[in-house]
Structure 1
Amino acid sequence: MNLILWIVIGGILGWLASLVMKTDAQQGLLLNVVVGIVGALLSGWLLAPMLGTGTINSDDFSLASLGVSFVGALILLAIVNLFRRGRVR
């Protein structure tokens, strides 16, 4: 059950991050899920230890972990936009 919840929450976070970064029209459902989950992994390595919280990848579905995972998805989209277009957007 946690796997399904992880995919759904990752998809929602990836979709919200793509709306903020204005890349929603270029991405589909699958890429939104990938961005949400990989962004949570990225933030799990970088941000979670500094803030003392978990991410959605560590089965921690608190408000703090959702925020950290969302910021990780934003960072991932910014990095992708930087390499694709030469600017973050």
Structure 2
Amino acid sequence: MTGIGWFMSIILGGLAGWIAEKVMKADMGLLMNIILGIVGALVANWILVAITGSTLGGWIGQLVVAVIGACLLIFVARLIRGKH
């Protein structure tokens, strides 16, 4: 299975993290946006594969999955810190 590559992972991760930051009204920096986007994509892809057996393909599909995953991570972090 071929992925999108490291460079595109960083670009998509940053974009996904930034979109999630705006959706969730969070205040993160560029590095945290990239980390949230990449880790969010990994988490959301894992959940999607566990539930449906597949994931969304292409850059757009992975961007959508990464945004959803990053939003999920922000939500969980707020629950743990008690900050809504």
Opposite residue 55 of structure 2, the aligned amino acid is: T
CA-to-partner distance for each residue in 1:34-81, whole Å, 9 max, x for gaps? 000010111121124434224xxxxx5343332122111110110011
In the alignment of these two chains, the number of paired residues is 80
Give me the TM-score of the superposition, normalised by structure 2.
Answer: 0.80
Give me the TM-score of the superposition, normalised by structure 1.
Answer: 0.76
More RCO (CA 8 Å, sep 6+): 2
Q: 1:53 aligns with which of 55, 61, 69?
A: 55
- Structure 1 segments, 4+ long, off by >6 Å, are none
Q: 1:68 aligns with which of 51, 65, 68?
A: 65
Q: 5+ residue gaps in structure 2? A: none
What is the root-mean-square deviation of aligned Cα atoms in Å? 2.0
Q: 5+ residue gaps in structure 1? A: 55-59
